[in-house]
Amino acid sequence: MTSSPYRNAPHFPPTSTGLPPSSPRTAGRLRKLQSQPSLISQQRHQQLRNASPSRNPAIPALPVFSTPRKHTRTRSNSDVVATSSPSTGPSTQRAQISRRTENPKDELKSLMRRGPRGDLPNALQSLRHWILVDGLEADNDGMSDLRIYVWLIMLNSPPLSTDVYLELIRRGPSPAYAKIRNDTHRTLMTNPLFKRRVRENSIIRLLNAIAWRLHDAKSDRMTDSGRITNASTDFGSPELQHVEPVKKHAKGASTVTGDGSEAGGSEPGIYVQGMNVLCAPFLYAARTEPQAFIAFHYFITRECPGYIRGAMDGVHKGVALVERCLAIADPKLSTHLLSKGVKAQIYAFASVLTMSACTPPLPEVLQLWDFLFAFGSHLNILCICAQLMMMREELLADSSPGKLLRSFPPLQAKKIVELTVGLVRKIPPELYEELVHHAE
């Protein structure tokens, strides 16, 4: 059997922008992360190269990071020992002091603003390494000045003119408007942080604009012959290229519901229940609604188009994969749950559909999403397994574990990520490829 490209080498399918996809889509990159040469050795190797690669002006700038430093107290001027060396002038001394005292947050901001000094794949890998090792700095509410920009980079989302978003809003209610209004008031309704920052009107506007965009994309793809056209859209690239055409008015064919989604079909709908929760972290982290709109749009159309189909086949595949992965990660726990009639369809459906956003607290959700966007949203399946393993002792000791799984304990993003990285190494190659492709 030939080795899987997802294990041995990074595989970047061509896109219209010429950029690699935001998610690595490779188990090998994540499995071999600890065996990678240190950033110091990579930097020294980079400095030995006399000629730097030419930068493509069409490629957006991304940072290459130096070795992360721990937070230390900045030295005051009185702490600096004066030197009498004639070769060191005042300007040189100031530059040296600045380099020594620059903390990782300021360094990351500077590099995000100026862009990479090397090639793009290495810059993306450095950013992923930064997220995994140090994480993005945020306050107690989970707010970070850099998070939305990191998400946009990892999702490979292009800039969006505010006028494009406003034009979608001016079109009024979409075919899915009634269903959207029925869900939005329940979005993270018990979360005071979210309610304080995001109004229901913002959720309605964003989801209605998404519904119009998906409605237009569906109309453009369908031709008289029933084939899908992969014409570029205003966003710069084809959308939902993996879906199958819907054959209407045939036996067993899908039917169009009142909200514009197909019931039981493989063609994406324009709104499915759960999208309101899935868009909530984008609105919370973004500085503007257009930012949240373009990031959310690219997420659902590139990362998990199978989750928004009328039949939600991607979600059901993900739920089945939770049970299969748990059986490998923790056979005893898996056997215990199945023996008590507790199936993943009962406890994992909401977590799969919402990328674990249904489990508070919200700041931990944002931190977990940093990891998912950096290394692939398919890893949410393993994150759910990790959450079950964190409850292992309680579940094994309970004769009715289903009651404990009615709601998961509060998220602990850092611990979940640590367990997930370990689980990646246990998953067989064939099963891991199913993880990667299950949401297409």
Domain layout of the chain by residue ranges: 162-303, 313-437
Q: How many CA atoms lie within 13 A of 62 on its CB side?
A: 27
- Three-state secondary-structure class, residue 26: coil
* 89 pLDDT above the threshold of 80: no
Handedness of CA 378, 436, 134, 152 (dihedral sign): negative
Please name which of 411, 261, 257, 302 lies closest in space to residue 19, comparing C-alpha atoms.
Answer: 302
Give DSSP secondary structure letters for 187-212. TTTT-HHHHHH--HHHHHHHHHHHHH
Query: Which ranges in 32-119 belong to alpha helices (H)?
Result: 39-48, 90-101, 104-114
What is the pTM assigned to this prediction?
Answer: 0.70
Tokens 């692939």, residue located: 376
Q: How confident is the model at residue 233 (pLDDT cuts 50, 70, 90)?
A: very low
Report pLDDT for 419.
Answer: 97
Confirm if 293 and 210 have CB atoms less than 8 A apart: yes
Token pair 């189909």: residue? 309
Backbone angles phi, psi at 407, to 5 degrees: -150, 135
SS3 314: helix
Give the mean model confidence (pLDDT) for residues 380-393: 97
Residue 61 has pLDDT above 80, yes or no: no
Q: What is the pLDDT of residues 110-149, one digit of tens each?
A: 667 777 777 788 888 888 988 999 899 899 999 999 999 9
Q: What is the pLDDT of residue 92?
A: 42
Predicted confidence band at 72 (pLDDT cuts at 50, 70, 90)?
very low
The mean pLDDT of 1-19, rounded to a whole number, is: 40
The residue among 418 and 66 whose pLDDT is bigger is 418
Task: Give the whole-angstrom CA distance, residue 269 versus residue 247.
Answer: 14
pLDDT score at 121: 83
| Maximal C-alpha separation, the chain | 90
Residue in this structure with the two tokens 């009634």, named with its chain if needed: 178
By C-alpha distance, which of 368, 357, 411 is closest to 135? 368
Using the predicted structure, report yes or no on whether residue 319 has a pLDDT greater than 90: yes
DSSP letter string, 211-249: HHHHHHHHHHHB-TTSPBP----TTSS---TTPPPP--S
Average pLDDT of the segment spanning 151-177: 94
List, in sequence order, every residue forming a beta bridge with 309; answer none if it has no partner.
Answer: 268
Arithmetic mean of pLDDT, 384-391: 97
313-437 fold: Cyclin A; domain 1 (1.10.472)
Say if residue 291's pLDDT is above 70.
yes
Distant-in-sequence, close-in-space partners of 318: CB < 8 Å, separation ≥ 6: 307, 348, 352, 380, 381, 438, 439
Q: Is the pLDDT of residue 80 over 50?
A: no
Q: Is the pLDDT of residue 95 over 60?
A: no
pLDDT for 42 beyond 80: no
Compute the distance between CA of residue 205 and CA of residue 167 in angstroms, rounded to an integer.
11
Predicted local confidence at residue 267, as pLDDT: 52
Residue 256 in 3-state DSSP? strand
Average pLDDT of the chain is 75
Q: Which residues pair with 262 in a beta bridge?
A: 256
- Pick the more confident residue, 22 or 229: 22
Residue 264 has pLDDT above 70, yes or no: no
Asked if the model's pLDDT at residue 27 lies above 60, the reply is no
Name the more confident of 228 and 303.
Answer: 303
Alpha-carbon separation of residue 145 from 150, 159, 194, 230, 286 (angstroms): 10, 18, 17, 36, 9
What pLDDT score was predicted for residue 11? Answer: 39
Q: What is the DSSP letter of 253?
A: -
How open is the CA angle 216-222-227, to the nearest 5 degrees? 150
Residues 6+ away with beta carbon under 8 Å from 338: 323
